[in-house]
């Protein structure tokens, strides 16, 4: 792709670094932003910058949070004695949407072996989850 503006090209290249975003989609997004009111684009960039600088990780489960404890861990309606360990933050975000989650969620930073669970005296029941 050849651009008439280095500013446009730089913006397209930055958007194209995002997962699942190719050059064509990046160009479409950049051109969309060019059509938007300057105030809206400023608010968009401010939200992204603030998200990156201000987001925290829950002290209990390492989920993304606005404060020290995330909304899942601070929910008194959840069973505090049961946790659901998942592989990624995406799973933590998606799981409560099923309305079947009543336990606490925890992102697992690495695979956990049966031996490690036994040493910690933790009983694990694998559950197959499919997201629609």
| Position 6 pLDDT exceeds 60 | yes
- Nearest 10 degrees: CA dihedral of 109, 81, 99, 94? -10
Confidence label for 63 from pLDDT (cuts 50, 70 and 90): confident
For residues 75 and 37, which has the higher predicted lDDT (pLDDT)? 37
Residue range 79-90, pLDDT digits in tens: 766 666 767 777
Residues of the chain with CATH 1.10.8.420: 6-54
Confidence label for 35 from pLDDT (cuts 50, 70 and 90): very high
Percent of the chain with pLDDT over 70: 64
CATH topology of domain 6-54: Helicase, Ruva Protein; domain 3 (1.10.8)
Strand ranges (DSSP E) for 21-116? 56-57, 64-65, 79-86, 103-107
pLDDT given for residue 46 in this prediction: 97
């Amino acid at each position: 792709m050849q651009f008439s503006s280095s500013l446009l090209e730089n913006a397209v290249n930055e958007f194209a670094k995002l997962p699942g975003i190719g050059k064509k989609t990046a160009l479409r997004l950049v051109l969309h932003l060019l059509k938007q009111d300057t105030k809206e684009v400023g608010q968009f960039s401010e939200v992204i910058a603030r998200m990156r600088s201000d987001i925290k990780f829950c002290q209990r489960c390492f989920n993304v949070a606005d404060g020290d404890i995330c909304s899942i861990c601070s929910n008194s309606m959840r069973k505090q004695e049961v946790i659901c360990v998942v592989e990624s933050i995406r799973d933590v975000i998606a799981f409560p949407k099923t309305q079947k989650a009543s336990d606490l969620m925890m992102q697992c930073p690495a695979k956990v072996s049966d031996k490690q669970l036994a040493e910690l005296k933790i009983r694990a029941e694998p559950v197959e989850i499919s997201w629609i």
